[in-house]
Amino acid sequence: MDSHPPDAERLLTPSEVAKMFRVVPKTVTRWAQAGKISSIRTLGGHRRFREAEVRRLLEEGFGSEDESRVG
């Protein structure tokens, strides 16, 4: 039996996100601390990231650098 709760969303570990961006896991942690990426915490304090958001951020980085960035 493999019934999952309705809005079970795919979560990624810091290492997995780090590999996608080609940075070390610690850098991903800094992004979370800086509020640049949202994250949830396991009950032990470790972070998990939404795969959808990570991929969105990853693709934003491929946009033209001429694009004005609001921030």
Partner DNA sequence: GTTAATTGGGGTAATTCGGGCG
Partner DNA sequence: AATGTCCGAATTACCCCAATTA
Q: Which residues bind DNA (CB under 7 A)?
A: 1-2, 13-16, 18, 22-34, 42-47
Q: Is 71 in the site for a copy of itself (CB under 8 A)?
A: no
Burial 30-49 (b: 16+ CB within 10 A, else e): ebbeeeebebeeeeeeebbb
The answer to whether 4 contacts a copy of itself (rule: CB under 8 A) is: yes
What count of other Cβ atoms lies within 10 Å of the Cβ of residue 21?
Answer: 14
14: number of Cβ within 10 Å: 20
The entry of a copy of itself, DNA, none near residue 37 (CB within 5 to 8 angstroms by kind) is a copy of itself
Which residues would be at the binding site for a copy of itself (CB under 8 A)?
Answer: 3-5, 8, 10-13, 16, 19-23, 27, 31-44, 48, 51, 57-67
